[in-house]
Amino acid sequence: MSKYEIAMEIAGPFAMWSRPDTGATPTSYPVPTWSAVKGILESVAFFSDGKAWIRPTKVEICKIKGTVGGEINFQRYTNNYRGPLKNKKKVNFQFSSLILTDVCYRIYAAIENGSGQHLKHGSNPCHALEAMFKRRLKKGQCYKTPSLGWNEFVASYWGSFRETELSGVATEVDTSINLDMVSVLTQVFGKAVNGRYQPQFQQGKSAVITNGEFYYAE
């Protein structure tokens, strides 16, 4: 059976991939979680009926080609709480967080069959979703504006890999980044499509960034 794979690059001045163990003062993981990558890719294209769905496989931390790498930049950020527990009779509640700055990632995914039927010519939702994604990425079209975690962190660039100077800025994988994250949230729900709240984590050797690459558990 053919493999249906997609990928894109996304960059921006700010990003937030919240660690659930940091509570009311959220701190970001250095790389997006499985669910975050799925959301970014689905902001370009997805099937609401679930006949084909996007399964993230890998993320690469990137830098401007030729520059010194090896650093992940954090900074303090103050935000207004807009959640369901907000007391509308009081002034805005502000909280501090620790976010990432000047980020660039290349994200990869496979498209899985969710139809429950054997794929065949003329009836292949995986191929259809792959073609839709690549067509929209090339044209710069999307279902909604891709963001880097929180919706206010809009990407400064999203699209195909910028591997040559023809794109204005060329990027490359920052192979000097190696980091043990100990434990990383992957899926928030038990199933990728119509799942219930059931957080899942990667731990141990599967929670390590090696040479700028991080693989999501299958």
Residue 121 pLDDT class (50, 70, 90 cuts):
low
Q: Sketch out the chain's domains with CATH numbers.
A: 5-175 (3.30.70.2660)
The answer to whether residue 95 scores a pLDDT higher than 60 is yes
- What is the secondary structure of 128-195 as a DSSP string? HHHHHHHHHHHHT--SS--BSSSTTSB-SEEES---SGGGSS-EEE-TT--EE-SEEE--SBSSTTT-
131 vs 115 pLDDT, higher one: 131
Q: Are 156 and 172 in contact (CB under 8 A)?
A: no
Mean pLDDT lowest for which of 33-37, 88-92, 98-102?
88-92
The answer to whether residue 192 scores a pLDDT higher than 90 is no
Residue 1 pLDDT class (50, 70, 90 cuts):
very low
62-90 average pLDDT score: 84
C-alpha–C-alpha distance, residues 199 and 104, integer Å: 26
**3-class SS of residue 45:** coil
**3-class SS of residue 126:** helix
